[in-house]
Amino acid sequence: MSLIITNNLPRPEPQALASTVEALAARFGNRLITSQAVREQHAHTTTWLPAQPPDAVVMAQETSDIQDVVRICAKYGVPVIAFGTGTSLEGQVNAPAGGICIDLRDMNRILEVHTEDLDCVIQPGVTRKALNEHLRDQGLFFPIDPGADASLGGMASTRASGTNAVRYGTMRDNVLALKVVRGDGKIITTGTRAKKSSAGYDLTHLFVGAEGTLGIISELTIKLRGIPETIAAAACSFETVRGACQATILAIQTGIPVARIELLNAAQVKACNSYSKLSLPETPLLLLEFHGSEIEVAEQSKNFKEIAAECGGGEFTWTTKPEDRTKLWQARHDAYWSVKALRPGAGVVATDVCVPISRLADCVTETEEDLKRLNLLSPIVGHVGDGNFHCSLLCDVDDAEEMARGEDFMHRLVERAQSMGGTCTGEHGIGQGKQKYLEAELGTEALDAMRALKKALDPQNIFNPGKILPAV
């Protein structure tokens, strides 16, 4: 087992590649870029997977640009990789077989906002912060928040979610329809603006999470929500992870519509105390957010407070004042930087798994024991309402022995989650890094089906080859 993904994918013939670049240059002029710096920038991944730059980058501005890049690449059998902001975590934007990267950041127009229907139509390069900035005056927001200011096209492609998913769902639940450029450059429309439909196969949700391997998303229709009248933040420490998980389970069972419920394990709280000069008890911490009317959030907070007390929770703090909310959530906002500061210079390897919530306490506790046994440092943050948690493993990437322990840890983490009825990734995707776990999770028949779908929609294998599906 190795984290180094070779894939051994055949690269295109040099002549085919040269012809492709020539045709692209003729069509795109200086929007075709072949400089090493730009190519390397587009292979940037936030994992420890080695960067694999594309052969060239095209800066797309219009849907017709995507269509023409795809047509030219298809003509010569050259791979084509979509790029949003490069914040994916499992090597999704790497180019293991070379090829052409389509950078979609300039396709960032918000085309339509339908306030009465709570939806909007956007280009794939719109980022979630830009979108929410645009929507704020209209009293609307897009709820999916994966942390990074990712592009919506990328978020759809990796089926992203994040802290709000417990209430608002993931990208899967918030994409109404897509336009997708297929191999011959024509465009597939997957749905309408109707809130629900039973009209044929669910193409929309086949492309959501396909990581650009079945076509390139050129337009999205997504659901919006009204900005809640009142937002309350709350925090409560627990003696054990089990207590925090039990409180979460009860809150969800009794139907408290928590908007966010985040677990920080003791190691993460300790890191935050040190980095953000806080004085939180260094035990597992739950941070919550409630959305609703003033009366509703007060009721939700009160109900959760009772549950927390039942489950061995300590002092329960809550507030609706924006500045106090920010302070209360300080630890969560600084989580990433606090981890970095624990061991300056070390790499942070982010990975995630997701288990049925009844197994979350077991999974986190066993993971903590494993870290101790392997002498590794990795604070844990969890979207605990979904049973999804993240490890931020600190490793000296130049220390082969430590990296081997890190690999061992990650492998055991995935096996643990899967043995508990969970998945190898709740929200980061498969990319390159987790291909080796897919068969153990779903079986050969599911992989056969996925391969058949890939072949049906991308018979030339030009769309982001070497991702999701392990080489046969």
Q: Which of residues 290-329 bind a copy of itself (CB under 8 A)?
A: 291-293, 295-296, 299, 303
Query: Residue 203 belongs to what H/E stretch?
Result: helix 203-207
Segment contacting a copy of itself (CB under 8 A): 93-101, 224-232, 366-374, 393-401? Answer: 224-232
Of 206, 341, 374, 404, the one binding a copy of itself (CB under 8 A) is 206
Of 53, 429, 433, 465, the one binding a copy of itself (CB under 8 A) is 429
Q: Is the dihedral of CA 293, 295, 296, 300 positive or negative?
A: positive
Cβ proximity to a copy of itself: between 262 and 427 the closer is: 427
> N- to C-terminal Cα distance for the chain?
16
Site for a copy of itself in 239-298 (CB under 8 A): 249, 252-255, 257, 291-293, 295-296
Query: At its nearest, how many Å lie between a copy of itself and the CB of residue 41?
Result: 24
Cβ proximity to a copy of itself: between 4 and 456 the closer is: 456
Cβ atoms of 414 and 424 within 8 Å: the answer is yes
Cβ proximity to a copy of itself: between 158 and 265 the closer is: 158
The answer to whether 466 contacts a copy of itself (rule: CB under 8 A) is no
Tally helices (H) and strands (E) across the chain: 18, 18
Cβ proximity to a copy of itself: between 274 and 358 the closer is: 358
Residues 318, 296: Cα–Cα separation, whole Å = 14
Residues 4, 48: Cα–Cα separation, whole Å = 9
Of 237, 378, 423, 432, the one binding a copy of itself (CB under 8 A) is 423
CA distances from 387 to 117, 169, 442 (A): 31, 13, 19
Segment contacting a copy of itself (CB under 8 A): 193-201, 272-280, 312-320, 339-347? Answer: 193-201
Cβ proximity to a copy of itself: between 214 and 342 the closer is: 214
Site for a copy of itself in 158-177 (CB under 8 A): 158-161, 165, 169-170, 172-173
The answer to whether 10 contacts a copy of itself (rule: CB under 8 A) is no
CA distances from 113 to 139, 178, 193, 221 (A): 12, 15, 12, 10
Query: At its nearest, how many Å lie between a copy of itself and the CB of residue 10?
Result: 23
Q: Which amino acid is at 54?
A: P
In 26-134, the DSSP E strands lie at 32-33, 56-59, 80-83, 100-103, 110-114, 119-122
The answer to whether 430 contacts a copy of itself (rule: CB under 8 A) is yes
Residues 472, 228: Cα–Cα separation, whole Å = 49
Query: At its nearest, how many Å lie between a copy of itself and the CB of residue 462?
Result: 16
